Amino acid sequence: MSSTIAPARARPARLDPSLLPGETGMVERPRRRFLPFDPWHLFLAPLAVVMLLPLVWMVVTSLLTEAQTHHFPPVLWPGTPQFDNYLEAIRRSAFGTWFWNTMVVTVAIVISNLVLCTLAAYAFARVRFLGRGFVYFVLLATLMVPLQIVLIPTFLIVKELGLIDTLGALIVPNLASVFGIFMLTQFFRTLPIELEEAARIDGASRLSILLRIVVPLSLPALATLAVIQFMWTWNDFLWPLVTILTNQDAFTLQLGLATFQGAHQTTWHLLAAANIMSMLPMLVLFLLAQRYFVRGIATQGLKG
């Protein structure tokens, strides 16, 4: 027996307001709620405090007077924030030089990486050429080798090239990174090859396919590479330490900060200010491009 139900026109959807977006709709055993909020906050909130504490405390310290930094119990809030500390830190050290150097080196490396790694990665991903597999394998093998092995010999090579104590020592060895090539090769392989094939049939050269078709489709991956490379270069300490020996004009921020700490042993308020200033570009970049940082790290995990 069939039954006829319902008018032909359906009524508009009624959303269930009790469901937060994304919450699983699964029926759970009814649990008595002891708290007016989700119990996970009890773990996450203190965790957030612990993770942010060093940063926040550093900011506070950067606004204290010198006397306040020599106080125990620690002064938790400056009476009047000493914004002057920032200027003083710049004045008392070569902060300006360090910042400029780091910026120059980082931007140079990021741009160079974007160009060279894209070219190479495209070739490895899409162009069939003699020796491709072998060269790719050898390149990947270098990723396995830890830094302390190459440290000394690379130093010697850079010395032979006469680059010691110059920014060139920091820039030249890092103009292309194997990591960048690897990451982009993986990514380019995921693009639909039909687009490139159509372009080849239309008569486009390899270079113009790369520039006009592949690159515009790869902006997120390129952004991710840029952001990760920026971070590594900006934060690099060991290599500048090793190659910039006596020339203080070529110090990067990390090097400068390290010596700042040595030279001005007790001026925590200034050191704090310098530290905050050195972190600012990275923090800002992170806040703006959080998605790319996370994606860059996450894809490393998913590639297994």
Partner 1 sequence: MYPGPVVAVDDLSLEVGEGEFLILVGPSGCGKSTALRMVAGLEHVSHGTISIGDRVVNDVPPKDRDIAMVFQNYALYPHMTVEKNLGFGLRRRRMPRDDVRARVDDVSRMLGLDELLRRRPGQLSGGQRQRVAMGRALVREPEVFLLDEPLSNLDAKLRVQMRSELKRLHDRIGVTTIYVTHDQVEAITLGERIAVLSQGVLQQVGPPQDVYDHPANVFVAGFIGSPPMNLLTGVAVDGHVTVGEVELERTGAPDGEVLVGIRPEGLRPVGAEHRGPVFEVCVDVVEPLGDEVLVHGSVAAPDAVAATEPEEGILAAESESGRASVIVRLPPEDRPATGSLLRVTPLPNALRLFDPASGRAIPN
Partner 2 sequence: MDRFRRFLVSDHAAGWAFILPSVILIVVFGLIPIVWGLVLSFQKAGLISPEREWVGFENYTRIVSDPKARQAAVNTITYTVLFVPTSIMAALFVAHALNRKIAFIRFYRLAVFIPVVTSTIATGIMFLWLFDKNFGLANWLLGKIGLGPFGFFEDPDQAMIALVLMTIWGWLGFDTIIYLAALQGVPHELIEAAAIDGASRWSTFWRVTWPMLGPATLLLVVWSTISALQLFDEVFFVTKGGPLGRTSVLVFYVYRLAFEQGLGALSLAGYAAAIAYVLFLVILVLTLAQFWLGRRVVHYQS
- Where b means 16+ CB within 10 Å and e means fewer, 169-189 reads bbbbbbebbebbbbbbbebbe
Smallest distance from partner 1 to CB 17, Å: 9
Complex with partner 2: residue 221 or 271, whichever CB lies closer? 271
Based on the shown chain and the rule CB under 8 A, indicate whether residue 43 belongs to the binding site for partner 2.
yes
**Sign of the torsion angle spanned by Cα atoms 284, 286, 290, 292:** positive
Residues 6+ apart with CB under 8 A from 198: none
Answer with the entry of partner 2, partner 1, none that 9 interacts with (C-beta below 5 to 8 A by kind): partner 1
Smallest distance from partner 1 to CB 35, Å: 21
Cα dihedral 179, 255, 161, 246, rounded to 10, equals: -170
Smallest distance from partner 1 to CB 237, Å: 41
| Sites for partner 2 among residues 98-117 (CB under 8 A) | 116-117
Q: Which of 107, 195, 198, 207 binds partner 2 (CB under 8 A)?
A: 207
Complex with partner 1: residue 17 or 73, whichever CB lies closer? 17
Spatial separation of the C-alpha atoms in residues 147 and 8, rounded to whole Å: 71
Smallest distance from partner 2 to CB 22, Å: 4
Residues 6+ apart with CB under 8 A from 81: 63
Residue 70 phi/psi, 5-degree rounding, is -95, 25
Q: Which of 87, 107, 111, 151 binds partner 2 (CB under 8 A)?
A: 151
Contact yes or no for 61/69 (Cβ under 8 A): yes
Q: What is the CA radius of gyration of the chain?
A: 27
165: left (phi over 0), alpha (psi -120 to 50) or beta: left
* Inter-residue long-range contacts of 74-78, CB under 8 Å, 24+ positions, other chains counted: none
Based on the shown chain and the rule CB under 8 A, indicate whether residue 20 belongs to the binding site for partner 2.
yes
Contact yes or no for 150/112 (Cβ under 8 A): no
Convert residues 46-85 into a mask of x (bound to partner 2 by CB under 8 A) and - (unbound).
-xx-xxxxxx-xx--x-------xxxxxx-----------
Does residue 273 sit in helix, strand or coil? helix
| Sites for partner 2 among residues 212-271 (CB under 8 A) | 231, 234-238, 241-242, 254, 257-258, 261, 268, 271
Complex with partner 2: residue 71 or 91, whichever CB lies closer? 71
Q: Which of 8, 26, 35, 219 binds partner 2 (CB under 8 A)?
A: 26
Based on the shown chain and the rule CB under 8 A, indicate whether residue 50 belongs to the binding site for partner 1.
no
Based on the shown chain and the rule CB under 8 A, indicate whether residue 20 belongs to the binding site for partner 1.
no
Spatial separation of the C-alpha atoms in residues 154 and 163, rounded to whole Å: 11
Q: Quick one: tokens of 49?
A: 């405090």
Based on the shown chain and the rule CB under 8 A, indicate whether residue 38 belongs to the binding site for partner 1.
no
Based on the shown chain and the rule CB under 8 A, indicate whether residue 3 belongs to the binding site for partner 1.
yes
Q: Which of 206, 211, 215, 264 binds partner 2 (CB under 8 A)?
A: 206
Complex with partner 1: residue 27 or 287, whichever CB lies closer? 27
For residue 97, what is the enclosing H or E element? helix 95-126
Q: Which of 65, 154, 166, 186 binds partner 2 (CB under 8 A)?
A: 154
Answer with the entry of partner 2, partner 1, none that 19 interacts with (C-beta below 5 to 8 A by kind): partner 1
Based on the shown chain and the rule CB under 8 A, indicate whether residue 16 belongs to the binding site for partner 1.
yes
- Give me the residues that bind partner 1 (CB under 8 A), please: 1-11, 13-16, 18-19, 25-30
